[in-house]
Each structure stands twice: as C-alpha cells, then as structure tokens.
C-alpha cells in the first residue's frame, strides 16, 4: 500500500492472470500467454484482455476487459486506447501488465488462484493536468448466465434480480450503499461468483464503486457481468498503489462471505456477545426494539405510562426527541445532551430510564453525529456552520433537508467535532442509559468533496471508523445499518435494513415484487456478519408488525422492532397490545436463538422464491412462507401448515415456535411446541396491523 494513499479511487474487480513458467513478453511476441493453477487456467491476449478463464471443463469467465481511468475534468481513458501494453509472465500463475502512455502509466500484478483471480495496481502514474478521481481495474468481466442465476446488487441490504430480469437485457446495476460491504456477487444453485477489494482494518478505506452489468450484450450472448472500482485521488504528476481486488468463485454465496471476511481480517473482530456488557448478555438478545417518541406523548411522565402499559416481555427502548423543543424530531441537532425542560427536564429523563430498567428492560437514546443544524447551540459552540460543515467541489456547504427541517453535513474528521460527540455520549451515559444510537453513520459519500478545508481524501471513511472506535469507549453504541462495514467492528447493533413492504409506498407490491422481475431481498448484510453485530430493521420509518415483514425479518436473521405511535392505532382497531405482545414473544423465542450466531445457509425452496430456509451455526433452522396463502411444508420434525407469511423454527431437528395456520383465523396463530405433550400450544392469535378482512385476506 502507498503509505500516503490520501486520494485514490480504485475501481477494481477481478484479477488478471498471466502465464507460463518462463517470462514472456506477449506484447513483443504477439502471442497470448496462459496462466495455470491446478485445474484453473486462463489466457491473456497481447492487449491485456483476459479470455476463457476455466476450471477444468467449466467456463468461469468468457472475457475480462481491464481498467478505465476517470479524471476530474471529465476525461476517461481505457486500457485499449491508452498506450503501449506489455504482458509479462513472472510465474506459472502470475503475470504483470504494464502500460506506458502519454497521459497515464499503469503497472498491474495479476495472480490466478485456484478459486480466485486477483489484480493489484502496483503503480498508477497520472501524467495529465487533472486529478485522477476513479480507477476501474476491471471494467467488464463477463460470465455465462445460467437460467437459474440470481444477480445481486447490494443496495439497502441487497435485492436479488430474477434470471428473467437479467436475461431480458434491461439496464441494471448499482453500487453498495455507502460501502456497507465491498462485495457484489451472482449466485446459482451450483456456484457463486463475487468481487471485492482486499482492505483490512489497518489500511485506508477506499470507497468502492461496483456494479452488475446488463444490457444488449447480456441479452444477445446470454451473459451477465461485473464491474468494480474505487474512488481515488491521484494528483497530476503523482503515483499511487491501490489495494488488490479479487474475483472469487465458490459453491455458494457463503463461500464468498468466508473469503471476504478472511481477506479483510473480519474474522479477528470481537464477536457480538463480547461487545455486550456482561450483565446484559442474557437480556439484549431477548429484547424487542421499541422506539419511544414524545411528539404524541407530550412529556416524560406520559412515556412512563406507556412503558408501564407494555405487556410482559423484554424491551430495548430507544428514546427519541428527548432534547428537542416540544418533543419534535429533526430539530436542535446536536443538542442531545440538553434534556428538554418542557418534557420534564433531567429529573424526568432519569425517572423514565429508571422505569425502563426496573422492569428488566434496557434503555437507549437517539443521537446523530453527522448531521447538524445551523441554529443549534452545539453548532454555535463549535464555531458555527461555516467552521465545521463539509464543503463540495465548489466550496459550498453541503446541506441536507428533511421536509422542512434544514441541516448540513458535518466534517466528522475534525477534532473539535469528535470531542463534542464524545462529550455528548459521556453525558448521556451518565443518566443511566445502556446503549446510544448514532444515526446516519456512513449514509453519505463525501469522497468528491475535494475543496473542503484541510480534509484529505477518504477523511469521511476513516473518520467513521475512528469515531465508532472512540464512541464505543464512551458507551455501547448502535448505528445506522447502511454504513461502512468497518465501523461494525465497534458497534453492538446496526439499524437500517429495509424490507420491501416496510413502507406504505410499497403496499401495491404487497406479496412480492416478483411480477416486476424483482424478488425479495437477499440478506447480504445480515448473512455476512451475523455473528459480529446485531441487525435490526430501519428504526425511523416502517416497522415489522406486518406478517410479511416478520417472515422476512426472521429469514434474514434480524431482530424485531415496534414503534410507540402504533399503540394507539392498534388499540383503536381493537387489537390492544396483542401485536407488541406477539412480537416480544417472537423476539424471545426465535430471534434470541440466532442472536450472535453465525449464519451458515440461506436458500429459496421454490422457483418462485416465495419460501426460504435459513440456518445458523447452533443448529437453528427457520423456514419461511412469504406468500399471502397458507402453505404445508415438510420438516425433519414433521409436517406443518404455515399461515400466510408464516414461519416455523426448529433447533437441532425439534420444533420451537411458529406462525401456523389454525384452520380458523385468516392470519393464523403464534404457537410454541410442547415437547412433552408433542403438540402445539397457542400463545396468541396473530392480528397484524396489515390485516384487512374485507379485502380478501
């Protein structure tokens, strides 16, 4: 690595491999060279194009086009037009590709592994007058598209594209949401292929840009492709080395997950249970996340009443709007340590926290370290918006507005900002809070804010990691789940994974977006690091009290969530507290069983992708029905009929809990297995808030 890789944007993706046992200058000889490793082989043409990557008789990649460089002035340079290319074999499975041009020089090492292809840009020299802002070392890697191939672009936790959609030639692709994970992959029942860069914690974290490639060629030749890159910042006349990028082949996506974790040193991170205070390791796994706001409750005393009316169960209560004028959300950021007098002040806040903890539950509080407001006390204390805001290329403050609430992005790499955030966390922890939630942790991409004061490139990514580490020393923290995954090393939980039907705008796609070519989410985020961090659905909009959202949340290994504002709606509908009671029960009986457990399997059980099987290292298995009709399913413990959007869980082959069809109600029952009596005992009738009997449930 370049010891000063301040500014690099790499778009890496696969590994380019080269050839025979003796050095060969393919560009001089005009002949292609072959790289071999075991039964893996590929051919590199004199122009650096990789073709016919095979393993035995299996074609892995038909063609790989190499790099592309993008500059701040808008110019793009591709490998085939940049200058003279020389391909030299250095070992049987290694080669070097060099390019000498008028505007750029490139030196790349290529390695062919038994199950992967790796390319490392050893030296990129910018010979232009403009900053080199992105380097794509694999601009297209084409592989045969099987009829059962599923392409995955990890946007908001991951959306799986059906093979029909891929084969249609429709345009598609997209990058990870602010680099939650630097991995894009494709999967079929027989194999999986993915691409990522190798960036252990000790390295400067480059922002990746990676895509799945579709289009006319995909349709015409029955192919699909991958592309991978990183944001760079190579000044005119300067050179840089970029991290290696691998294209990895495995039997399943879990092989790719294991490789990604190993190559990026994630396996060395502390496990989830190690990050939880010792006295809470039997509490947090059982706790239903409960968001408690004061816009409708008015004062802390009203919040205490709400807590006291909750049914039996364990809760992780996240208190929001406790600092704001009149309990209004999205105002007075970052004045979180100033408890609102109008709500009951510090004494009332302490009493609320005590009430939560007295019933054996846990207390958390909302904060936001990355989005401030210009008229807040905290902003004034830090010298005003002009002194701490992020600026774009034009030198303008980067603003973000939510409805009528205006604010700005904060330069979190600034020492005074980090100190303010730490002081806030320490003050809040002093009230007796068990956890503190930090919102918008990495949901922005500031790699192009080149005019910002003294900020080096990648200041934002590195600051996220630094801030997470420092924050975790002040209090156990949870963050928003679409952030840079290196921050997860320091967090207990991450909230921010959307489910397809979690908002009203998606209601018309209820019971599956499959008709549009999309299927439900592939749980990329949760399956990757389930043993390292606890996953929750998004905690600001939407919830998991609908049947469909519960079934998908369990399939993806998420914990459950409920908002206090739904209580009045449930009571008006005659459900009382039955919904929150049922969710608390599922959290205790099911979610606690996979809390901190490594996921070992996820697969669809039918071609329509409406039923799933998820398994964890401790022997827990979850079978989910994601259709709006009941479904009989055979398990190793016997046959059961799942309710619409129902589920059943088993542990080491024995039933635990399920949402089952009772042949009476349209929505089924939450039931626990009585091993002694060999029967199901009803815990509660399931009455989710999405039930509309007059519309044909």
pLDDT in tens, 449-491: 545 555 555 677 778 888 999 999 999 999 886 667 888 899 9
Tokens of 503: 């908002």
User: Do residues 449 and 393 make contact, with C-beta atoms less than 8 angstroms apart?
Assistant: yes
- Nearest-5° Cα angle at 6, 409 to 524: 65
Q: What is the pLDDT of residues 545-599, one digit of tens each?
A: 677 778 888 988 989 999 888 888 888 888 889 999 999 999 999 999 999 999 9
Q: Concatenated DSSP letters for 134-201?
A: EEEEEEEEEEE--TT-EEEE-STT-EEEPHHHHHTT-------TTSS-S-EEEE-SS-EEEEEE---T
Tokens (6 digits) for 267:
């396996």
Beta-carbon count within 10 A of 390 CB: 25
Average pLDDT over residues 96-100: 95
Question: Domains of the chain by range and CATH?
Answer: 10-268 (2.70.98.10), 272-368+420-594 (3.20.20.80), 599-695 (no CATH)
What is the C-alpha separation between 535 and 498, in angstroms, rounded?
Answer: 11
CA torsion, points 346, 441, 385, 474, in degrees to nearest 10? 40
Q: Contact 205/178 with Cβ under 8 angstroms?
A: no
Q: Quick one: pLDDT at residue 618?
A: 97
Q: Looking at per-residue confidence, does 461 or 504 come out higher?
A: 461
Omega before 334 within 30 of 0, i.e. cis: yes
Q: What is the DSSP string of 629-684?
A: S-EEEEETTEEEEEEEEEEEEEETTEEEEEEE--SSSSS-EEEEEETTTTEEEEEE
Least confident of 114-118, 188-192, 273-277, 669-673: 188-192
User: Is the predicted pLDDT of residue 244 greater than 50, yes or no?
Assistant: yes
Q: Could you identify the residue written with the tokens 């408890």?
A: 339
Is pLDDT at 161 greater than 50 in this prediction? no
pLDDT at 174 exceeding the cut of 50? no
| pLDDT value of residue 511 | 36
pLDDT band at 131 (very low <50, low <70, confident <90, very high): confident
- The band of 497, judged by pLDDT with boundaries at 50, 70 and 90, is low
Q: Assess whether pLDDT exceeds 60 at residue 163.
A: no
What pLDDT band is residue 18 in, cutting at 50, 70 and 90?
Answer: very low
pLDDT tens track for 206-216:
777 766 665 56
Least confident of 119-128, 417-426, 606-615: 606-615
pLDDT of residue 211: 63
Percentage of the chain beyond pLDDT 90 is 51
The pLDDT value given to residue 178: 37
Q: What would the two tokens of residue 299 be?
A: 């004062």
- pLDDT score at 193: 85
Q: What is the model's pLDDT at position 577? A: 92
pLDDT-derived band at 159 (thresholds 50, 70, 90) equals very low
Query: d(Cα 104, Cα 66) in Å, to the nearest integer?
Result: 14
Residue by residue, what is the 3-state secondary structure of 458-519? CHHHHHHHHHHHHHHHHCCEEEECCCCHHHHHHCCEEEEECCCCCCHHHHHHCCCHHHHCEE
Quick: pLDDT tens for 48-96.
999 999 999 989 999 998 899 999 899 999 887 788 999 999 999 999 9
Q: What is the pLDDT averaged over residues 524-535?
A: 84
Question: Does 171 or 442 have the greater pLDDT score?
Answer: 442
Q: Is the pLDDT of residue 47 over 70?
A: yes
- Locate tokens 């044909």: which residue? 696
539 pLDDT more than 70: no
Contacts with 292 (C-beta within 8 Å, 6 or more apart), sequence order: 303, 306, 307, 317, 318, 319, 320, 564
Phi, psi at residue 594, to the nearest 5°? -105, 0
Tokens at residue 415, please?
């020492």
Strand partners, 152: 160, 185
Residue 447: pLDDT over 60: no
Please state, in angstroms and rounded to a whole number, the distance separating the CA atoms of residues 367 and 319: 10
pLDDT for position 455: 59
pLDDT recorded at residue 46? 93
SS (HEC) of 295-320? CCCCCHHHHHHHHHHCCCCCEEEEEC
What token pair was written down for 105?
């020089």
Predicted confidence at residue 17, as pLDDT, reads 32
**Distance from C-alpha of 372 to C-alpha of 391, rounded to nearest angstrom:** 14
Higher-confidence position of 415 and 448: 415
Rounded CA-CA distance 542/647 in Å is 21
Per-residue DSSP letter, 432: T
Q: What is the pLDDT of residue 316?
A: 98
Pairing of strands 58-65, 50-55: antiparallel
If you average pLDDT over every residue of the chain, what do you get?
A: 81
Contact by Cβ (8 Å): 228, 208: yes
Q: Which residue has the higher pLDDT, 498 or 21?
A: 498
Least confident piece of the model among 15-24, 233-242, 526-535: 15-24
Contact (CB, 8 A) for 677 and 663:
no
CA angle 291, 642, 546 (to 5 degrees): 25
Per-residue pLDDT, 500: 43
What pLDDT was estimated at residue 445? 54
Q: Which of 679, 666, 670 is nearest to 647 (CA)?
A: 670
CB 87 within 8 A of CB 33: yes
* Mean local confidence (pLDDT), 624-650: 93
Residues 6+ apart with CB under 8 A from 455: 390, 411, 413, 449
Q: Is the pLDDT of residue 101 over 60?
A: yes
Percent of all residues in the chain with a pLDDT value above 70, rounded to a whole number: 77
Q: Residue 561's CB: how many other CB atoms inside 10 A?
A: 25
Over residues 71-80, the pLDDT tens digits come to 989 999 988 7
Report the range of poorest mean pLDDT among 221-230, 254-263, 372-381: 221-230
- What pLDDT sits at residue 392? 76
Say whether pLDDT at 29 is over 60: no
More confident residue, 496 or 115: 115
Distance (Å, rounded) from C-alpha 7 to C-alpha 460? 12
pLDDT of residue 611: 87
Residue 337 burial (CB count, 10 A): 18
**pLDDT band, very low/low/confident/very high, at 170 (cuts 50, 70, 90):** very low
Which of 52-66, 254-268, 282-296, 584-598 has the largest mean confidence? 584-598
């Amino acid at each position: 690595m370049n010891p000063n890789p301040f500014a690099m944007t790499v778009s890496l993706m696969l590994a380019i491999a080269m050839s025979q046992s003796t050095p060969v200058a393919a560009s001089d000889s005009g002949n292609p060279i072959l790289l071999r490793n075991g039964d893996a082989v590929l051919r590199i043409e004199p122009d650096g194009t990789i073709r016919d990557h095979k393993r035995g008789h299996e074609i892995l990649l038909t063609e790989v086009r190499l790099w592309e460089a993008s500059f701040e002035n808008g110019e793009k340079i591709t490998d085939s037009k940049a200058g003279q290319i020389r391909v030299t074999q250095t070992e049987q499975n290694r080669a070097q590709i060099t390019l000498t041009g008028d505007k750029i020089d490139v030196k790349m090492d290529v390695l062919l592994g038994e199950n992967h292809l790796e390319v490392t840009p050893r030296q990129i020299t910018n010979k232009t007058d403009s900053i080199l802002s992105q380097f794509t070392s694999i601009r297209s890697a084409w592989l045969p598209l099987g009829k059962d191939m599923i392409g995955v672009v990890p946007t908001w936790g991951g959306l799986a594209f059906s093979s029909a959609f891929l084969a249609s030639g429709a345009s598609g692709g997209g990058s990870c949401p602010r680099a939650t994970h630097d991995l894009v992959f494709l999967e079929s029942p027989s194999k999986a292929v993915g691409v990522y860069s190798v960036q252990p914690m000790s390295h400067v974290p480059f922002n990746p840009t990676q895509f799945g490639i579709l289009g006319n060629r995909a349709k015409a030749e029955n192919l699909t492709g991958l592309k991978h890159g990183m944001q760079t910042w190579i000044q005119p006349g300067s050179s840089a080395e970029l991290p290696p990028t691998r294209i990895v082949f495995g039997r399943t996506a879990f092989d790719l997950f294991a490789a990604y974790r190993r190559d990026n040193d994630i396996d060395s991170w502390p496990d989830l249970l190690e990050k939880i205070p010792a006295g809470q390791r039997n509490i947090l796994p059982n706790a239903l996340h409960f968001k408690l706001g004061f816009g409708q409750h008015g004062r802390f005393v009203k919040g205490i009443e709400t807590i006291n009316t909750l049914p039996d169960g364990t809760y992780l209560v996240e208190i929001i709007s406790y600092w704001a004028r009149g309990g209004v959300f999205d105002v007075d950021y970052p004045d979180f340590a100033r408890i609102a007098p109008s709500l009951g002040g510090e004494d009332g806040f302490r009493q609320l926290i005590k009430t939560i903890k007295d019933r054996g539950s846990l207390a958390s509080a909302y904060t936001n370290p990355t989005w401030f407001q210009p008229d807040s006390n905290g902003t004034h204390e830090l010298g005003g918006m002009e002194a701490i805001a992020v600026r774009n290329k034009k030198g303008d403050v980067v603003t973000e507005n939510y409805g009528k609430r205006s604010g700005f992005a904060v330069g979190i790499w600034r020492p005074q900002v980090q100190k303010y955030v730490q002081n806030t966390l320490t003050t809040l922890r002093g009230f007796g809070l068990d956890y503190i939630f930090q919102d918008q942790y990495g949901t922005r991409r500031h790699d192009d804010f080149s005019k910002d004061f003294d900020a080096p490139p990648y200041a934002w990514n590195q600051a996220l990691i630094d801030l997470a580490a420092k924050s975790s020393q002040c209090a156990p923290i949870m963050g928003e789940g679409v952030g840079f995954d290196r921050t997860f090393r320091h967090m207990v939980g991450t909230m921010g994974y959307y489910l397809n039907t979690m908002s009203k705008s998606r209601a018309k796609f209820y019971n599956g977006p499959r008709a549009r070519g999309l299927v439900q989410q592939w749980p990329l985020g949760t399956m990757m690091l389930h043993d390292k961090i606890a996953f929750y659905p998004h905690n600001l909009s939407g919830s998991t009290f609908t049947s469909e959202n519960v079934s998908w949340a369990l399939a993806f290994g998420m914990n459950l969530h409920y908002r206090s504002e739904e209580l009045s709606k449930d009571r008006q509908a005659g459900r009382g507290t039955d919904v929150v009671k049922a969710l608390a029960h599922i959290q205790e009986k099911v979610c606690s069983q996979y809390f901190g457990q490594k996921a070992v399997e996820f697969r669809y059980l039918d071609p329509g992708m409406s039923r799933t099987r998820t398994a964890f290292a401790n022997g827990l298995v979850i079978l989910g029905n994601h259709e709006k009709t009941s479904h009989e399913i055979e398990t190793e413990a016997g046959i059961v009929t799942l309710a619409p959007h129902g589920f059943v869980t088993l542990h080491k082959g024995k039933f635990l809990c399920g949402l089952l069809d009772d042949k009476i109600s349209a929505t089924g029952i939450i039931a626990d297995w009585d091993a002694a009596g060999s029967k199901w005992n009803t815990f509660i009738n399931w009455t989710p808030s999405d039930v509309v009997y007059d519309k044909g449930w």
